[in-house]
Amino acid sequence: MIKTILFDLDNTLILYDEMKFAEHYFPLITRRFADLFPADEFTSRLLKATLETHLNDGSKTNKELFLDLFCEGLNNSQKEIWQRFDDFYENDFDWFGEIITAPDKSLDVMRELQQMKMRLAIATNPILPMNAQLKRLAWAGLEGIDFALVTNIENMNYCKPQLGFYKQVCGILGERPEDCLMVGDDPANDMVVARLGMKTYLTEDSRNRVDKPLQISKQVIGDKIEGIPPVDFSGPLSNVPEAVKSLLRN
């Protein structure tokens, strides 16, 4: 029986053009490290560490692995480097809310699911710290929703599309995959969880409202869908409660 609904975040609960995001993100965050690196070296180091963190084997948290990779060869302490990232997300990240929109009726969807006694969790790719994830939820108008879990770089040891990510999410929540529904926009990184027996809902909101969703991420984490079972449901985010009702009837 379905008990818990897992939601992706990027272009599922928040809609945006990743290319436009990148045009502003890299210049702003580079300033936080301008005394340590030329801009091109910082960007190269950041992308390399992020790419390799996506391949985390679970032996470290994503934050630990990211810092090991990013700080390789530096004299600065990892604590000092992380403080710079933390300050960026705390103080400079708010601007990005201006390029974010939310799918229709997203808050209504969450409230209806709560009325159905569903547990709600955010299962987004955990490469950002918790303060950034909470801000992104606020931009979606969901700051008042009680999520049982919000994945982030500090509390996870895997990234999508590794099944280890979804196994860890289920372990933290104390749920079996077959008792959960994954809601996301990505046919590979979100729907891959069907291999564990989890039900899946592929959202379509970003297709009509985002010019180039997650093109950079495709270069990092790929888009292979071979061997992934067909999705159980697809449609706008607003139809998720109907899908849950359908599963509860069966």
The string of DSSP codes covering 130-168 is HHHHHHHHHHTT-TTS--S-B--TTT-S--TT-HHHHHH
Q: Where are the beta strands (DSSP E) in 92-225?
A: 119-122, 180-184, 199-203
Give the residue-averaged pLDDT of 181-188: 95
Give the residue-averaged pLDDT of 60-72: 97
Of the spans 13-17, 204-208, 224-228, which averages the highest pLDDT?
13-17
Between 142-151, 193-202, 222-231, the lowest mean confidence (pLDDT) is in: 222-231
Q: Are 176 and 207 in contact (CB under 8 A)?
A: no
Q: Is the pLDDT of residue 178 over 80?
A: yes
Give the residue-averaged pLDDT of 6-30: 92
pLDDT tier at 216 (50, 70, 90 boundaries)? Answer: very low
Give the residue-averaged pLDDT of 48-74: 96
Q: Is the pLDDT of residue 69 over 60?
A: yes
Question: Class assignment of domain 4-16+101-249?
Answer: alpha beta
Q: What pLDDT, on the 0 to 100 scale, is given for residue 223?
A: 54
Gyration radius of the chain's alpha carbons: 18
What is this structure's pTM? 0.93
Task: Say how far apart CA 83 and CA 161 lie, in whole Å.
Answer: 28
Q: What pLDDT, on the 0 to 100 scale, is given for residue 20?
A: 85
pLDDT tier at 4 (50, 70, 90 boundaries)? Answer: very high
Give the residue-averaged pLDDT of 59-88: 96
Q: Is the pLDDT of residue 210 over 80?
A: no
Q: What does the mean pLDDT of the chain come to?
A: 92
Domain spans of the chain, in order of start: 4-16+101-249, 19-96
Q: Is the pLDDT of residue 124 over 50?
A: yes
